[in-house]
Structure 1
Amino acid sequence: MARMVMCKKLGKELPGLTFKPFPNELGQRIYDSVSQDAWKLWLEHFKMIMNEYRLSPADPRSQEILYQQAEQFFFSEGAQLPPDYRPPRSKG
């Protein structure tokens, strides 16, 4: 049976993550209170952040930006979009 959490992002009890996503206190907080469904939403947001800010996962400064964005995404009103962000045009 899946581990259930009261998801901070989605506001309901859902299956929790099976891993701690970051090796720090934020990773533990996410593990304790973020659902798999909310994590999937984060992954899409994460891709957008990586591309728009042109971040490198190996760069410590980039990692700090990602941690800040994750904190906002999961535990605040929502993450800020990059200032020059333009949503991709829909196909069709």
Structure 2
Amino acid sequence: MARMVMCKKLGRELPGLAYKPFPNELGQRIYDSISQDAWKLWLEHFKMILNEYRLAPADPRTTEILYQQAEQFFFGENAQLPPDYRPPPSKG
């Protein structure tokens, strides 16, 4: 049975992540309070950031930007999605 969390991003109880995504305090906060569904939204958002800023995944500065952007995405001002938000249908 999946571990349930009260997702800070989506505002409802949903299955949580199976492991901490980052080896730091932010990773623990995400593990404790972000759902799998919100994490999927983040992955899409981060792909956009990588492309827009032309970041190289192996560059140490990319990790710093990743943490800053994740903090803002999940816990920053206006981070929670509107109550009537419905994710787009899955492709394929």
Provide TM-score, normalisation by structure 2. Answer: 0.81
Distance 1:75 1:65 in 2: 15
| Structural mapping, 1:45-60, within 5 Å | 45-60=45-60
Equivalent position amino acid for 1:37 in 2: D
Identity %: 86
Aligned to 1:40: 40
Consecutive aligned runs of 4 or more in structure 1 exceeding 6 Å deviation: none
Partners in 1 of 2:33 and 2:56 — Cα distance? 27
Higher relative contact order (CA 8 A, sep 6+): 2
Unaligned runs of 5+ in 1: 79-92
Is 2:61 the partner of 1:61? yes
**Aligned-CA RMSD value:** 0.8
TM-score (norm 1): 0.81
**Unaligned regions of 5+ residues in structure 2, if any?**
80-92
Once the two structures are superposed, what CA deviation does each residue of 1:18-37 show, in whole Å capped at 9, x if it has no partner? 01111111011000000000
Question: Number of residue pairs matched?
Answer: 78
Q: Which one-letter code corresponds to 1:30 in the other structure?
A: I
2:6 alignment counterpart:
6
